[in-house]
Chains A and B, each alone.
Chain A
């Protein structure tokens, strides 16, 4: 039983895919804590432009990142259909504001291709791998790069 799970885990990756504008992205589902509807975020003064602000997640203060801005695109307006994906990586928890969640994908690990060396575009560093699903290109995001580095670096 355990063996089966392990081999499965080694072979397949489960990903949560979502949409920003016309593009498809996904993150490792193991880092996803929950998905929330859009709530107005309280802006933080003097914060980087991609930091949408902070929201109340059951009594704790959760920073929300506008993923579109983070990836160098236009800001997301913040409408009812937008969602916030709460992710947690290495002790840092944050919300990612995206246009809409699309699907949960289970793909064999070997299908994930490393991104080509595109060089200068800073947003490219956030992309961990590329996937082709039904002829569509999906970018797998590296959350460690996306999330604010924790206090050690900043404070």
Chain B
């Protein structure tokens, strides 16, 4: 980015736009669920309105005109003249999507996306006969000064309430001493329902360098509510000597009020230029800068009444849930921090090991000091990781759009329900999840769900449902995509697999094995799928993308009831809690999250299933038994373990397996180091880490390891050897 301050402001406008678009989507979703309350509609209106306002300030005409027309329609909805029917809301979604496209195109300097006219035309037919008023010229004269100071303007019926009439006229000293009229007025309005009018003298001079510091404006405030004079005086405590204040109970100064109203600036008076000018009218300008809502006034000058209402609503919202203070930080800086903390963890482990080697007892001060150091490091690491974590919500919103577009193109009615939007996942994971998720959502719409007629025939609602959910489970993130479609057509999948030579024609496959055929490379080809999901990518690409993130994907399907894809991902890509074990003289790390329990292997517990297959009985359950050393090829397959320690591990689908190890060394946190891609994906190995002695240990992916041992058609394995 350049050093041009304007470019920076522009960039931050686009960041804001993204946030506004997000809240726009949210509100539309709420509306879609049947809530047509004023506040929700307001959120939609405000988001569009703010985008328009900002775009106007940057002279982004295309964006202004589009959002203006969108806004006009929303205004009709807001005023109750247009009923937000489901069809209308669908159109709103479409318009919001387009608005997003236009925002992005404008940001990147690309040409505007096509189809805007069609959507706008459709939108405007909603308005019926009246149609739209011709687009109003957007200029920056703030003609109506109906300021809003963060509270609702008192409703009319409140006029009978007791109240105060306050006149506040700053003197020169007020601004030079660093006080701010806006803040004072805001505090006033927090006391009760305040109506604030700015009094602008008729003979307001043109702004010049000389009068820049001369206060010319004053305010009249009508404050209603249970407020004592003392409360009001308190607001002016710090400025009492640099301004003129008149406080009188309401009703006693009717005459004055009448006089004042004459002074209230109406619209397009000569005062307007002055108000915008930073030099001559410091208070007004400061308001513009401080109060984001005021920027909207500038852009929305023609419809004075409307804009005041919009701003009031905006103020209500910000008042209701005060946004938490946030800082925008370069991702690079965070990553450096993450790396440094990672090094710190390794170093701390090395230190611990050398202290132990030096023969210092466990009761010594050094040891206890080291222990608290360890805890601090851990806390530090967790905090740093938290910075990188982000809610999956934006990702899910993108998927909502994919559903809308995909369902429209195949003529299906689809509703997407998202759950766990606020589940936090590492930023990198979110970014790299977008493509596979898009693909799977398209698949669900295209292949998963049936056409409305077929759904009706099957006794289901014609509207298909896709549920996209995220949750934390056992130290991992579980993302599920579930549709209520027809389920996997297993005979057909089998036929295709046989035809493509992926399985032998006489192969005996269980249902879940057939389902998993979908993940085989070469299963899906362009001729097999429609234009929508068929892009030459199959589910194997989805799977390798997920595996690349240290995740796993499983599929479950029930004929007639739907299909569910479960993606299980690590919370972070930087550290994990692991159990350090030994097998065949190698030190290996097994993620703690995968281990259910550990047990001792007794010869009597081993049961043979076949010549090579063994099972172990744990309590009343039989689980397949694998020798870790053998699975990794470190040990001869003829070696038969008769004793040792087993780790009982779980797979995503709930199946269990037991892994024989020689010894368990310790349980600790390890820093994940990528193995690099030099030798491809090693089955059963997720990554590597550096142990306290500086040696590299491999981090295992036990479920993959076991799968490598169970599924005969494991092509990855062959490819890698």
Measured between beta carbons, the chain A residues less than 8 angstroms from B343 are 59
Residues of A within 8 A of B674 (CB): 61
Question: Are the CB atoms of B676 and A61 closer together than 8 Å?
Answer: yes
A45 touching B678, Cβ below 8 Å: no
Q: A106 on the interface (CB 8 Å rule)? A: no
Which residues 34-52 of A have a CB within 8 angstroms of B? 39-48, 51
A155: interface (CB < 8 Å): yes
Q: Which residues of A contact B134 (CB under 8 A)?
A: none
Please give the distance in Å from B160's CB to the nearest CB on chain A: 74
Return the contact of B695 from the options A56, A60, A150, A155 (Cβ within 8 A). Answer: A56
CA distance A103 to B129 in the complex (A): 91
Task: Determine how close the nearest CB of chain B comes to the CB of A144; give it in whole angstroms.
Answer: 14
Shortest C-beta distance, B438 to chain A (Å), equals: 21
Cβ–Cβ contact B632 & A155, under 8 A: no
* Structural contact, B717 and A94, CB atoms closer than 8 A: no
CA distance A55 to B676 in the complex (A): 12
A44 and B698 contacting across the interface, CB-CB below 8 Å: yes
| CB-nearest residue of chain A to B343 | A59
Q: In the complex the two chains form, is B634's CB within 8 Å of A42's CB?
A: no
**Are B675 and A54 closer than 8 Å at their CB atoms?**
yes
For residue B697, which residues in chain A have a CB less than 8 angstroms away from its CB?
42
Tell whether B682 is near chain A: CB-to-CB under 8 Å: yes
Q: Are B683 and A46 in contact (CB under 8 A)?
A: yes
A56 touching B679 in the complex, CB below 8 Å, given contacts A43-B634, A45-B634: no
Q: Is residue A113 contacting chain B, with contact meaning CB distance below 8 A?
A: no
Tell me the smallest distance from the CB of B686 to a CB of chain A, in Å: 12
Q: Looking at the complex, which one of B587, B632, B677, B696 makes contact with A154 (CB distance below 8 Å)?
A: B677
A42 touching B695 in the complex, CB below 8 Å, given contacts A54-B688, A59-B690, A61-B674 = yes
Give Cα A47 to B673, complex, Å: 18
Whether B586 contacts A56 by the Cβ 8 Å rule is: no
Q: Is B681 part of the binding interface, using a Cβ–Cβ cutoff of 8 Å?
A: yes
B688 contacts A154, C-beta separation under 8 Å = no
Which B residue's beta carbon lies closest to that of A148? B678
Number of A-B contacts (CB under 8 A): 75
Contacts of B688 in A (CB 8 A): 42, 54, 61
In angstroms, Cα B674 to Cα A45, docked, is 15
- Report A139 CB to chain B, min CB distance, Å: 24
In the bound complex, what is the Cα–Cα distance between A6 and B587 (angstroms)? 50
Among B675, B694, B717, which residue has its beta carbon within 8 angstroms of that of A46?
A: B717
Contact A45 B673 (CB under 8 A): no
- CB of A148 within 8 A of CB of B679, answer yes
B406 at the interface (CB under 8 A from A): no
B-side contacts of A51, CB under 8 Å? 679
Once A59-B346, A61-B696 are accepted as A-B contacts, the answer to whether A44 and B685 lie under 8 Å apart by CB is yes
A42-B696 contact in complex given A61-B676, A63-B678, A148-B678, C-beta closer than 8 Å: yes
Q: Which residues of B contact A150 (CB under 8 A)?
A: 677-678
A151 part of interface (Cβ distance < 8 Å): yes
Decide if A92 is an interface residue (CB 8 Å cutoff).
Answer: yes
Q: Given contacts A42-B697, A46-B721, A56-B690, are A63 and B679 in contact (CB under 8 A)?
A: yes
* A55-B678 in contact (CB<8A): no
Which residues of chain B come closer than 8 Å to A39, judged between CB atoms? 694
B464 interface residue (CB < 8 Å to A): no
List residues 97-155 of chain A with CB under 8 A from any CB of chain B: 148, 150-151, 154-155
Contact with A along B626-643 (1 / 0, CB 8 A): 000000111000000000
Distance in angstroms between the alpha carbons of A60 and B343 in the assembled complex: 11
A114 CB to nearest B CB, Å = 29
- CA A61 to CA B691, docked complex, whole Å: 12
Question: Would A60 and B679 be within 8 Å (CB), given that A40-B695, A54-B688 are in contact?
Answer: no
Q: Which residues of B contact A154 (CB under 8 A)?
A: 677-680
Q: How far is the CA of A60 from the CA of B680 in the complex (A)?
A: 17
Residues of A within 8 A of B690 (CB): 56, 59
Asked if residues A45 and B679 are in contact (CB atoms below 8 Å), the reply is: no
Q: Is B684 an interface residue (CB 8 A)?
A: yes
A56–B586 Cα gap in the complex (Å)?
Answer: 16
How near does chain A come to B227, taking the closest CB pair, in angstroms? Answer: 64
Partner of B696, one of A45, A46, A55, A155: A55
- State A40–B682 Cα separation when bound (angstroms): 20
CB distance from A153 to the nearest CB of B (A): 9
Scan B687-721; emit 1 where CB is below 8 A from any A CB, else 0. 01010001111100000000000000000010011
A150 CA / B684 CA spacing, docked (Å): 21
CA distance A53 to B696 in the complex (A): 9
- Docked Cα-Cα span, A26 to B682, in Å, equals 31
A44 to B720: give the CA distance in the assembly, Å. Answer: 11
Q: Which residue of B lies closest to A60 (CB)?
A: B673
Residues of B within 8 A of A42 (CB): 586-587, 688, 695-698
Chain A residues lying within 8 Å of B675, measured Cβ to Cβ, are 44, 54, 61
Residue among A42, A45, A53 with max Cβ neighbours from chain B (10 Å): A45
- Bound CA span A75–B721, Å: 19
Contact B633 A155 (CB under 8 A): no
On whether A46 and B346 interact (CB within 8 A), knowing A61-B688, A63-B679, A150-B677, the answer reads no
Taken together as a complex, chains A and B put the C-alpha atoms of A119 and B694 apart, in Å, by 43
Q: Which residues of B contact A63 (CB under 8 A)?
A: 676, 678-679
Does the CB pair A61–B673 fall under 8 Å?
yes
Residues of A within 8 A of B717 (CB): 46
Residues of B within 8 A of A148 (CB): 678-679
With A45-B633, A45-B684, A151-B677: A56-B698 Cβ-Cβ less than 8 Å = no
Which of A44, A46, A59 neighbours the largest number of chain B CB atoms within 10 Å of its CB? A46
CA A151 to CA B634, docked complex, whole Å: 25
In the complex, what's the smallest C-beta–C-beta distance from B11 to chain A, in angstroms? 32
The CA of A42 and the CA of B585, in the complex, are separated in Å by 11
Q: Which residues of A contact B678 (CB under 8 A)?
A: 63, 92, 94, 148, 150-151, 154
Q: Which of B587, B634, B675, B676 has the most CB of A within 10 A?
A: B676
- In the complex, A128→B587 CA distance in Å? 39
Which residue of chain B lies nearest to A45 when distances are taken between CB atoms in the complex? B632
Shortest CB-to-CB span from B693 to chain A, Å, is 10
Binding site for B on A (CB under 8 A): 39-48, 51, 53-56, 59-61, 63, 92, 94, 148, 150-151, 154-155
Q: Could you give 10 example pairs across A and B, Cβ below 8 Å?
A: A42-B697, A45-B632, A45-B682, A46-B717, A48-B679, A51-B679, A56-B695, A148-B678, A154-B677, A154-B680
Closest 3 CB pairs of A and B: A151-B677, A45-B632, A154-B680
Excluding A41-B696, A45-B685, A59-B343, 13 further A-B contacts by CB distance (< 8 Å) are A39-B694, A42-B586, A45-B632, A45-B633, A47-B679, A56-B694, A59-B690, A60-B673, A61-B675, A61-B676, A63-B679, A148-B679, A155-B677
